[in-house]
Structures are given as C-alpha cells and as structure tokens.
Amino acid sequence: MKYINYSSVTIDKLKINKSQLPAIRSVAVRYPFLVSSSYAGLIQEPGDAIWRQCIPDVRELEDDGQLPDPLAEVSLSPVPGLIHRYPDRVVLLVSNRCPVYCRFCMRKRHVGCGDQPPDNERLEQAMAYIGATPAIRDVTLTGGDPLMLDDASLYDILTRLRAIAHVGIIRIGTRMPVTLPERVTPELCAMLKRFHPLYVNTHFNHPAEITAASTAACGLLANAGIQMGNQTVLLRGVNDDIATMRELMTGLLGIRVRPYYLHQMDLVKGTAHFRTPLASGLEIIKALRGHISGLGVPHYVIDLPGGKGKVPLLPDQFERDGDVVFLTTYRGERVAYRDITTPPA
C-alpha cells in the first residue's frame, strides 16, 4: 500500500498571529496538524468557518471530560483495522492519514499518528474475516481518508473485496472533494467505475467548501455513475445556524451530492468546544423541512456511545430529563444519552 503525494502548508504560512503560535504548536504535539494547500486557500480570515475546522485550538487540550474512543471502535474490532458494529456491514480502515486533520475528527486519537498505510498482513486478516462472515454484505472504506492511497493500492483493495461473493455494496468515505479536489482525477473515476455498485459519502460542512474545484471533483465521480451522499457534522461557530445549513444543503443538490446525515458531534475527547445542544440540530431540521426540497433534508443522527449505533432525531421525538435524553436503538434498546455542551468561549 502506498500513499499519494500532495502539497501542504505549515502553521507558519497560515494567517496566524505570532503570539498564538506557541499555544497552537502545543496542541499539534498531541493532536497532529496538517492542512493541504487547496483547503488552506479557502481561508478568508482568522476565525472563519474554514479556519475553525483546521487550525489547532488550545481548548482541545482542556477537554478531559470525554473519551478518546466513545463509539467503542476498538472493542468492536474483531481483527485490527476492521470495525463490525452492525450485523450486515463493516468499516475497513485503510488509511490513517488525511490531507487535512480536522480538529473535530471522530478518530482524533489515532488519525495522523504514523506515516505508513496498513500493511498486507493486517489487510489479509481483514479480508479473511469478511470472507468468513457471510452476513457481511456492505463494506465501507474509511480511515483517515481512503483516497490518500494511490490508485494501484485502492484497486488492489477493491479487487479483493469484489472477489468475496457475499459483499454486495462497497462504500468509500472521503473528504477529498473538499480538502484535495485535485485528487479526484478521470483516471481514478474510471478505475472506481469498474467496481459498481460503489457509493461515495463525502463531507462538506460549509457552503464556502462548494467551489469550482470541489464541484468539478463531484462531477467526475457522478459522471462515473457513482451515487454521492454527504455527511455534515454540526459544529458550533461553523454551521450551527439555519441560513448556513439551507445554503449548504441546496448547494450540495446543485453539485449532485445528496445530503445524507447531519451528525451531532460525537463525545470525542478534544472536541467539546465544537459541540452544540441537541436543540440546535432539531431547530435546523425543523427549519429545513418544507422550506427546501425534501431531497436536501438530511437525517439528523446521534452515533451513540458504546457502539450502540446511529439514532435519527426529529423534533419532539424523544423523552428528556434535565440534560439526559432517552433514545431507542435499532435493536430496541432504550439508552440514556447526556446532552453535554460547554459554554461558548
């Protein structure tokens, strides 16, 4: 397995006040920092929506109230690099790198920690597990970002998966159309087209990320017959208002990307300053329904701690007792979930 090469920027080359550098560097020691030149070019000024998503914040070190792995991915890994949470689908981690290390990352504990992609031994273990488990029909490639792998490495993984008769659907979770749109080439799309049914879920969080370059990247994927969905994370100070979400969701439809999920921020250590109350997400969904096409209204979901799975939320759907809400999983289990937020800085 090999990673691609691309152009990145350093902290020193971004629009950062010199007095902020020591604090930012102290964060980067614990949680790696990396921004592609493409994404850095979208920053208009310090503190804007793009800046907040990629520039280290000292509050990342102040959040000790949560867990590094609240979704229990480690305990749900029967072999290294493979997560089996739902009966018929698995997540295959094929990269621990991204062109941008998002500050709200759900895998903040390990993404960017290590320079090498998964070795063949680990990949063989994962393929053997999938092959020996007929219930698995759906495999999602993620990481990190799977498109950090070069075309030949991706081709090898996809070929191995397609050789397993019971694997019907392959999905790729990637933020490349946003963070490194030049990675999406005609050659890549022609290769991916050979492995249908193949779906791509990408990750736009703000209308400013819908650019000529990201539009072109999504167009290449769509023209290859790849159905595209988008998973947005609800982020305080980035997109937690109705006008921004309306513009984002309608903008995505315009570039042939279907809004799929609006994620409540996971309870991941180092990300609490991004978290919004559940009321914010519910207000946004209520304001989208009927005011934009139903195609543009995503499912607002919580990925429950402990690996319990995703639960969709609608206004007035659940019970509340103070800061605790009670949700029912797809297995019918009633789970208490704390609606935890920190005061705005």
- Write out the binding residues: 98, 102, 105
Q: Are 39 and 99 in contact (CB under 8 A)?
A: yes
**Catalytic hit among 39, 57, 101, 102:** 102
**Catalytic hit among 57, 69, 240, 266:** 266
Residue of 90, 143, 82 lying closest to 116 (CA atoms): 143
- C-alpha 103/C-alpha 224 separation (Å) is 32
- C-alpha 263/C-alpha 102 separation (Å) is 15
> Strand, helix or coil at 334?
strand
**Catalytic hit among 218, 303, 308, 337:** 303
Q: Report which secondary-structure segment, H or E, holds 142.
A: strand 138-142
Whether 85 sits among the annotated catalytic residues: the reply is: yes
Q: Which residues of 291-320 are buried (b: 16+ CB within 10 A; e: fewer)?
A: ebeeebbbbbbbbbbebbbbbebeeeebee
* Joined tokens for residue 114: 């290590």
Q: Are 263 and 303 in contact (CB under 8 A)?
A: yes
Whether 102 sits among the annotated catalytic residues: the reply is: yes
Whether 303 sits among the annotated catalytic residues: the reply is: yes
Whether 109 sits among the annotated catalytic residues: the reply is: no
Whether 183 sits among the annotated catalytic residues: the reply is: no
**Catalytic hit among 54, 98, 189, 218:** 98
**Catalytic hit among 86, 129, 155, 199:** 86
- C-alpha 243/C-alpha 173 separation (Å) is 26
What are the binding residues for [4Fe-4S] cluster? 98, 102, 105
Whether 260 sits among the annotated catalytic residues: the reply is: no
Q: Are 303 and 83 in contact (CB under 8 A)?
A: no
Whether 107 sits among the annotated catalytic residues: the reply is: yes
User: In the chain, how many H helices and how many E strands?
Assistant: 11, 14
- C-alpha 266/C-alpha 305 separation (Å) is 8
**Catalytic hit among 48, 151, 310, 339:** 310
Residue of 75, 98, 162, 175 lying closest to 127 (CA atoms): 162
255-260-262-267 Cα dihedral, nearest 10 degrees: -120
Whether 18 sits among the annotated catalytic residues: the reply is: no
Q: Which residues are catalytic?
A: 85-86, 89, 98, 102, 105, 107, 266, 303, 310
